[in-house]
Chains A and B, each alone.
Chain A
């Protein structure tokens, strides 16, 4: 079956954006997976309603992976169902894809592309791009997000049961190598730039205070805070520590003599 002939591709792609709408601890992405794959399974109706219903029930069971690359599994599972693979083999395929797709998405997106885009966005804001920095962050992130979804669906559909080969795609592997350092570089460069941007008036043309003393105080305070938050990080997140510190400071500011 050719890719061009795949029925319901556009609807499945659109539904994949909502693959986590009914996320639950029991089935995780299962319901969203079933909802997304359903348009691709419609040709099975012509072969008798039972095959379609069995396939849909199977595809709505537990599934867990990174939502952006779940499209690979959706494409592969749909192809396997339409090719008439044995139900046990399809279930094994779904189960086998959970771990690798989760790890791939976490490394590529959550620990790579997202922080990289945040870093670039913050850096652009800090050098005076204003709202365009926000737009650049949004556009950069979503080019890859949408591209990955469509590519994944295509690659999964073409590969079917041999989908493991799609995960070895050289472009994907190269991306995994590059994205971590890129994120680290972008975030690292953005942090000092943002600090100076804020101290110099956050692009609003107003010097809010003498530039250097708060700058030095902020860097020293940040170092103390980061060290403290990192040290007690196993018990509390940086956010919890921040809430504690900010709460104490707000109370102190109210009681100031």
Chain B
């Protein structure tokens, strides 16, 4: 990956990281969008889309609810979308599965680091607010602007760090482990699909498997299976 590409991917990672909580919560932080953007930046949007779909199944239960701690999938998804797209090159074949397996693991670990990093930013925001407490009690609008800008800058830094963490050390890990992968590619394919789908089903059940919506979820699954059988 060239310096320009790293810069471009990091910039998009920052936008995705900011989107999760700070601004504008338009859901570009969802892996479906973020990984697609990462793949598109590297000239392989279809590969980015595959990474996005797989990661979205893991992220299904990630809802940015208030004070809850949740993984930040945006920057890792942008970075892994770009990394897998780079590894895929122009020929997509069975060999992509070990890359995808390691990339999903790296993205999941980075998303977990994102949880912790957001917690730090929130504490830093709290410390800044305490410093401005007197001005806030005097109703100073400039204090509000300074605090909002400070929060924005802190979250931008956090998102850039998370993108670079996934892109650089994560990229090395993906390259080394996927190149030394010795099991058949179908093993990697089966595991990625099983774990992603399992996580998706588990998340969907936790999120929607209560009361009347549980029946609609089952109806959707049946409809999807029927559709797939007719289609296949």
- Give the B-binding residues of A (Cβ under 8 A): 17-18, 20-28, 31-32, 34-35, 38, 52-57, 60, 64, 66-68, 102, 106, 110-111, 114-115, 117-119, 121-122, 125-127, 130-131, 134, 137-138, 141-142, 145, 180-200, 202-204, 206, 208-209, 211, 213-214, 217-226, 229-230, 233, 237-243, 245-247, 249-250, 252-257
Contact = CB atoms under 8 A, between A and B. Distances in A.
A256 B183 contact: yes
A25 B41 CA distance: 36
A202 B47 CA distance: 8
B124 to A, nearest CB: 9
Interface in B204-222: 204-208, 212-222
B224 A193 contact: yes
Given A17-B23, A122-B56, A202 B183 contact: no
Given A31-B144, A122-B32, A125-B49, 11 more contacts: A34-B144, A60-B144, A117-B27, A138-B33, A192-B228, A213-B186, A214-B190, A221-B197, A222-B200, A239-B71, A254-B180
A199 to B, nearest CB: 7
Contact of B33 (A134, A184, A238): A134
A184 B206 CA distance: 11
Given A130-B49, A184-B216, A203-B46, A245 B195 contact: yes
Contacts of B9: none
A229 B199 contact: yes
Interface string B103-114: 011001101100
B190 A206 contact: no
Among A52, A53, A55, A190, max chain B CB count under 10 A is at A190
A185 B195 contact: no
- Majority secondary structure, B binding face: helix
Contacts of A187: 60, 204, 207-208, 217, 220
B46 A21 contact: no
Contact of A249 (B155, B191, B222): B191
A114 B62 CA distance: 10
A143 to B, nearest CB: 11
Given A24-B125, A222-B197, A209 B207 contact: no
A241 to B, nearest CB: 8
Given A22-B148, A243-B109, A253-B182, A226 B189 contact: no
Contacts of B140: 53, 56
B75 interface: no
Given A23-B125, A137-B32, A184 B49 contact: no
B66 A60 contact: no
Contact of A253 (B33, B101, B231): B101
A192 B109 CA distance: 26
A184 B214 contact: yes
Contact of B129 (A24, A138, A239): A24
A217 B141 CA distance: 60
Contacts of B206: 230, 233, 238
B25 A67 contact: yes
A56 B111 contact: no
4 nearest CB pairs, A to B:
A188-B220, A221-B194, A225-B198, A53-B139
B172 interface: no
Interface in B98-146: 98, 101-102, 104-105, 108-109, 111-112, 122-123, 125-126, 128-130, 136-141, 144-145
Given A17-B25, A111-B63, A243-B105, A57 B30 contact: no
A186 B221 CA distance: 9
A231 B126 CA distance: 37
Among B50, B129, B197, B203, max chain A CB count under 10 A is at B197
Contact of A208 (B27, B101, B189): B189
24 contacts: A21-B22, A23-B21, A24-B129, A31-B125, A53-B139, A60-B136, A110-B63, A115-B204, A118-B30, A131-B49, A142-B27, A181-B212, A184-B220, A189-B220, A209-B189, A226-B201, A237-B61, A238-B203, A242-B199, A243-B105, A246-B105, A246-B108, A249-B187, A253-B101
Contacts of B200: 191, 194, 222
Contact of A114 (B24, B63, B92, B196): B63
A193 B228 contact: yes
Nearest to A49: B139
Contacts of B16: none
